[in-house]
Structure 1
Amino acid sequence: MSEKNSARIYLSPPHMGGSEQEFVRQAFESNFIAPLGPMVNGFEQEFSKLSGFAHCAALSSGTAALHLALRLLGVGHGDIVIASSLTFIGSVTPITFLGAEPVFIDSDYKSWNMDPELLAEAVEHYISIGRKPKVVVPTDLYGQCADYDRILEILEPHGIPLVVDAAESVGATYKDRHAGKGALMAAYSFNGNKIITTSGGGLLASDDEKMISRARWLSQQAKEPLPHYEHNEIGYNYRMSNLVAAVGRGQLEVVLKRVERKREIFDFYAKELGEVPGLSFMPEADYGRCNRWLTVMLVDEEIFGAGPDKIRITLEESNIESRPVWKPMHMQPVFKDNKSFGGKVGADLFKRGICLPSGTAMSEDDLKRVVEIIKGCGK
């Protein structure tokens, strides 16, 4: 069989653990098919145990979780919200939903996450002109936590809250705390390509019970506790369904195994390709343990003999999916008029980076196949 006809290798497909169907069966038997039900409650409680957050609200997406977090903090028209530039757009669009103005902070090379020193510069700038930022939202890029404690050192003297976009970092740790822990709120994603999935879904976590209770209420159309439908505020249809939560409960049973396998996959690529001239990999910051959601490789085209786009196209010709690094938000046409601090690091990582297949069900033969094709692209 030719490589073109070989089974497709996807970037990061769902990987079921075995118990998901049993939880779904229980949901069907209970007839809790519509949103809410015991599976949602169980999923929230079990994620609280994993994350260390006291309270969780299971929602329809990570973007919904960020939207609610910003709404809870009173973000509105004309406010400044500071966010990572090197991220997926779903980290940033909730800012615009509320009429606020996103301001972008470049990455550092140590972690590829929000550069705290540039953040400090941005905070001081906006305070000096009388526009204190309303919230700061760093992204945990590719499963690596941002430097929460350093960011909090910058924000706390000014009373600026921290909301972590932990969509990609379930199972990662920062100084032995689960990803997101230490922030006022953290948003997580369980989309189909994440390290664990509910097919589609997200979650908002906090130690503040009132905030999570209000998030739940807003996520259910902000209906007043009356027998008829009465609304004093605008809410959203953002709650996770009982069936989706059933899948999530099965996935939570294997999340730590998934992290270990993701890290093994990264180590395999790094061992096989890390010594190849012109190839290098995303570093692991000394303050935490990355979940290695995706293995990301940097390519020096001049030294290696091919750039990341050539590698991506060659892999695709062999039925293997890969992807460029996120295009930074400060480079996106839709945000061309927004202010950013720095930008060269994110632009460089976008230019030189490629995300390699990282599915936890990949076999050793799959990994070898990817490696050999990449090696064949070079000089």
Structure 2
Amino acid sequence: MRIWLSKPHMSGREREYVSEAFDSNFVAPLGPQLNAFEKSVSDYLGGHVHCVGLSSGSAALHLALRLVGVNKDDEVWISSMTFAGGIFPVLYQGAKPVFFDLDASSWTVYCDLLEEELKKANAKNALPKAIVPTDLYGQSVDLDPLEKMTNQYGVALVVDSAESLGSSYKKGRKCGTGGDVSILSFNGNKIITTSGGGMLVTHNEKIADEARFLATQARDNAPHYEHSTYGYNYRLSNICAGIGLGQMEVLDDRVARRREINARYRKELGRSGIQFMPEQKGCYSSQWLTAATFDEDILGVCRETIRLKLMQDEVETRPLWKPMHMQPLFEGTHYIGSGFDEALFANGLCLPSGSCLTEAEQTEVIERILDIIDQA
């Protein structure tokens, strides 16, 4: 049987919540399951944030950018190593991305680079409209300096926490609560899933209300369909929200299991030439995916050979995100950094990390990787 990278893991309660939606005939986009799901996520994040359930993380990011004022030709500074859905909404707004490298100590956006460039941009009266850092593979970006510098320069901060629900920053601050707006994803391979879906999270009630309005086709308060601006069909299905309710009940368990899987990989693959994504001091990563690099000079075998041999044995792995500045779509786009993210992409691999990965399956993955290296 195929060993998957990260497949959905149901608790058993999801079916009950979905059945309640069917029994009450709330199969339309809105309903009590969606309201309860939004409250459940808000409570998990500390109860001091407003949550808006949406059709995807990309939809959440699109709304966030529009609501913080990103418009045509504005600059948005963004982590280059991210999923495409974390950058496409910048293009939807007609804005211009500027890509930033990662910090080698955390594998998240390099705050020192951002601060240096903000000083230069401020001197030229050419500040970006927003900064969008990515919580990579379950690890929080360094929120303290990011929030300090964006407040200082009056730049919006939209945190892409699509990969980090269940993680926390320093002093237990939950990922998904940073900046002016944060976004979450419930795609099928995430820590928990709603089949497909996302969420906009903000401390600002006005932003949340505007997000709900725009996400439901921007229908004005009238007995007929009245529109004073354009909107989107972005709301999360009430049925899908029922799945989310069941998933939220086991979120911490799912995170704990992924951390166990990550710890075992580190222990049994801990040898010269294999480096795992560092976990920042004081932070708690969900370890959504276990990310590691394989040094060909030391191991005698490259990342791609390992990936292909594992694929032949029905073990799914995946290279780390290809940085956006290396993508054909963004050829010639401004990139600031030394290429650390390029090296991660060249040598990095995400290993099977799903919370339903069995001990036997993980043993098989580990043994096959070691065999590939030993035979090189």
Q: In the TM superposition, what are the counterparts of 1:209-248 in structure 2 within 5 Å?
A: 209-248=205-244
Matched-pair contact (CA < 8 Å) for 1:305–1:377: no
Alignment root-mean-square deviation, CA: 0.9
2:260 maps to: 264
Q: CA deviation at 1:190?
A: 0.1
2:369 maps to: 374
Q: CA deviation at 1:363?
A: 0.9
1:15 maps to: 9
1:31 to 25, 33, 36: 25
Q: CA deviation at 1:132?
A: 1.3
Name the amino acid aligned to 2:148.
Answer: E
Matched-pair contact (CA < 8 Å) for 1:105–1:343: no
Cα distance in 2 between the residues matched to 1:270 and 1:332: 31
The superposition leaves residues 240-268 of structure 1 with CA deviations (integer Å, 9 ceiling, x where unpaired) of: 01000000000000000000000000011
Runs of 4+ deviating beyond 4 Å? none
1:171 aligned onto 2:166: yes
Matched-pair contact (CA < 8 Å) for 2:215–2:235: yes
Matched-pair contact (CA < 8 Å) for 1:59–1:238: yes
Cα distance in 2 between the residues matched to 1:151 and 1:8: 41
- SS of corresponding position for 1:131: coil
2:327 maps to: 332
2:292 to 297, 313, 316: 297
Cα distance in 2 between the residues matched to 1:308 and 1:132: 39
Q: CA deviation at 1:126?
A: 2.3
- SS of corresponding position for 1:286: coil
1:99 maps to: 94
Cα distance in 1 between the residues matched to 2:292 and 2:158: 28
Name the amino acid aligned to 1:286.
Answer: K
The superposition leaves residues 130-179 of structure 1 with CA deviations (integer Å, 9 ceiling, x where unpaired) of: 22111111000000000010112222111112110000000000011100
- SS of corresponding position for 1:146: coil
Q: In the TM superposition, what are the counterparts of 1:1-379 in structure 2 within 5 Å?
A: 7-52=1-46, 53-175=48-170, 176-275=172-271, 277-378=272-373, 379=376
Percentage of identical aligned residues: 48
Consecutive unaligned residues in structure 1, runs of 5 or more: 1-6
- SS of corresponding position for 1:204: strand
- SS of corresponding position for 1:149: helix
Consecutive unaligned residues in structure 2, runs of 5 or more: none
Cα distance in 2 between the residues matched to 1:161 and 1:187: 14
Worse-superposed segment, 82-91 or 46-55? 46-55
The superposition leaves residues 267-297 of structure 1 with CA deviations (integer Å, 9 ceiling, x where unpaired) of: 111111012x311211101131110000011
- SS of corresponding position for 1:280: strand
Worse-superposed segment, 121-130 or 303-312? 121-130
The superposition leaves residues 206-230 of structure 1 with CA deviations (integer Å, 9 ceiling, x where unpaired) of: 1111110100000000011111111
Q: CA deviation at 1:343?
A: 4.2
Matched-pair contact (CA < 8 Å) for 1:63–1:94: yes
The superposition leaves residues 332-377 of structure 1 with CA deviations (integer Å, 9 ceiling, x where unpaired) of: 1111121111041100110110000011111111001001110111
Cα distance in 2 between the residues matched to 1:85 and 1:287: 25
Cα distance in 2 between the residues matched to 1:209 and 1:29: 32
Report how many aligned residue pairs link the two structures: 372
1:4 maps to: none
Matched-pair contact (CA < 8 Å) for 1:135–1:162: yes
Name the amino acid aligned to 2:268.
Answer: E
Cα distance in 1 between the residues matched to 2:284 and 2:114: 23
Tell me the TM-score normalised to structure 2 length. Answer: 0.97
Name the amino acid aligned to 2:336.
Answer: F
Name the amino acid aligned to 1:15.
Answer: H
Matched-pair contact (CA < 8 Å) for 2:159–2:178: no
Cα distance in 2 between the residues matched to 1:89 and 1:111: 21
